[in-house]
Amino acid sequence: MTQTATPLADDFAVSDDATVRARWTALVEKTLKGQSFDEALTVLTPDGLTIQPLYTAADGVSVARDLRTRDADRPWDLRMRIAHPDSERAARDSLVDLQNGAASVLLAVDPTGAQGVAIGSADDLARALDGVLIDLAPVALDAGYLGPKAADWLGAVAKGAPNAPLAFHMDPLTTFGQTGTSPGPIESHVFNAATVGARLSTTYARASLFLATGRAAHEAGGSNVEELALMTASALAYAKALVRSGLTMEEAFRRIVLGVSLDGEYFTGVAKVRAARALWARLAEACGVSEPAVIEARSSARMLTTKDAWTNLLRLTSAGFAGAVGGADVVVLGTFTDAIGLPTAFARRQARNTQLVLMEESHLGRVADPAGGSWYLDSLTDQIARGAWALFQSIEAAGGVIKALEIGQIATAVGLARDTQAAAFADKSRKILGVTVFPNAEDKPAEVETVDSSAFAVEGPDPRLPGPDSHCPPLTPIRFAAAFEGA
């Protein structure tokens, strides 16, 4: 049977990009009631970046591509956060998560039980991980200034299994930025963490030591540029500390994980993850190494609402989509009730299943860098990366990330971005589903677990180090919806 090819393009006139754009613009302006095309449809982001309504080949830029071959069945690590104050309950939550689709757990450590599992010793940590096969399932920590202590506890629980995929995630700079103070000099906390990390690295060949993230800037209302600049500056500070503790620069970079926060704006989320990888490549090149980035993407807390909390499922899905399409190695989605209280088993299942659907039914990991070649996303990625690199250079010119935090350089930039975004939500040029638009008149509070965290509190070690405390203007976490939920 003879098949005849149908020339689909024959009915379309051949024109250069400028001609096509001019014709399209003229047609659109007829509907804009006197406004110009650029005035009506061009969007300015909180970063000061421009998003055009139409992109053509003339807008194409060269962006570093992530073309790794990913596991088709498990293209990224589905990680679940564990934060119930009861260590025995935390162990049960971990096992349920791991048996039902999660690949790893992120253990929040807080001896008081207020912000995580009440853990104050290696024995407490062992109870919180009872039944977890640590040599198979990656365990990550979130322990603030207790990071070095918790790392030693996890090392003891792992019992020297050299291939245990541990993520110690020490990150004193984020805690310093959020709280505005450190018990002893913050420089000492960074160096102490590096010393402990260097020692543990000799036993645990696959373990990551530091998490470098700009989460403190993001959760305080900062822009994508400020978040990634803080992430990059923190990565450099941690790499220098590890080298000072005896590691080579290449080994130091290999032991650092980048942290990126994702909210419900999935296009900018995709671009931000890709920009983080580009920034890492530029930083590594400047330091004379070629280690690839490892990125852990976490869903944003500032985007969550308490009113009509079910709408948070949409935001979390968008965040997960952005992490997957952007190429994150690890994705951590919170639960839709995190802004209200501790999640129920149902809420945790929703958090797991959101990722499982994206992974196993939507097959988002089967294409390497699916955003590559999109003039819009390549342009946005490039703009975010360039803006973050320029701010990173400004941070380094001020004396590094610690000095920039102490003199308020980062807090000032974050405050301006926060106020700009808050004003956009207030005048409804940016909308919050279920709160500022389409509120649910029959909204009923979502079910959460209510516990007395103080009942599980344990005595933990004092994180204080010798010397005077360090101080900086705090990057206090916010929720943008909170300003409207009291009405």
**Residue in the structure block whose two tokens are 């992109």:** 55
pLDDT of res. 479: 97
Question: Is pTM beyond 0.85 here?
Answer: yes
39 pLDDT tier (thresholds 50, 70, 90) = confident
How confident is the model at residue 360, as a pLDDT?
94
Q: 175: which strand partners?
A: none
Name the more confident of 200 and 366: 200
Q: 68 or 99: which carries more pLDDT confidence?
A: 99
Is the pLDDT confidence value at 353 over 80? yes
Task: Give CA–CA dist 427/433, Å, rounded.
Answer: 14
Mean pLDDT of 350-379: 93
In the predicted model, what is the mean pLDDT of the chain?
Answer: 93
Kindly state the helix (H) or strand (E) to which residue 210 belongs, with its residue range.
strand 208-213
In 212-366, which ranges are continuous DSSP H helix?
A: 215-219, 224-244, 249-254, 266-286, 312-326, 345-356
pLDDT band (50, 70, 90) for residue 10: low
For the segment 171-186, the average pLDDT, to the nearest whole number, is 98
What pLDDT was estimated at residue 58?
Answer: 82
pLDDT at 38: 76
Percent above pLDDT 90 for the chain: 80
Chain segment 310-350, per-residue pLDDT in tens: 999 999 999 999 999 999 999 999 999 999 999 999 999 99
Residues 281-299 pLDDT 10s: 999 999 999 999 999 999 9
Give the tens place of pLDDT for each residue, 409-458.
999 999 999 999 999 999 998 999 999 999 998 888 899 999 999 999 99
Confidence band of 381 (pLDDT split at 50, 70, 90)? very high
Residue 12's pLDDT band, with cuts at 50, 70 and 90, is: low
In this prediction, residues 297-307 reach a mean pLDDT of 97
Q: How confident is the model at residue 17 (pLDDT cuts 50, 70, 90)?
A: low
Q: And the tokens for 99?
A: 């048996």
Q: What is the pLDDT of residues 446-484, one digit of tens each?
A: 999 999 999 999 999 999 999 999 999 999 999 999 999
pLDDT at 65 over 90: no
How high is the pLDDT of residue 45? 83
DSSP, res 48: S
What pLDDT does 11 receive?
61
What's the whole-number mean pLDDT along residues 254-277?
Answer: 97
Q: Around Cβ 29, how many Cβ atoms within 10 Å?
A: 16
For 190-246, write each residue's pLDDT tens digit: 999 999 999 999 999 999 999 999 999 999 999 999 999 999 999 999 999 999 999
Instruction: Please tell me the distance from the alpha carbon of residue 59 to that of residue 52, in angstroms, as a whole number.
Output: 10
**What secondary structure does DSSP assign to 261-303, as a single string?**
EE-S-HHHHHHHHHHHHHHHHHHHHHTT--PPP-EEEEE-STT
% of the chain surpassing 70 pLDDT: 96
Structure tokens at 409: 């350089």
- Model pLDDT, residue 13: 58
Could you tell me the CATH superfamily of domain 77-409?
Methylmalonyl-CoA mutase (3.20.20.240)
Contact 273, 225 (CB under 8 A): no
Residue 130, both tokens: 């009872």
Where is pLDDT greater, at 486 or 163?
163
At 322 the three-state DSSP class reads helix
pLDDT of residue 304: 98
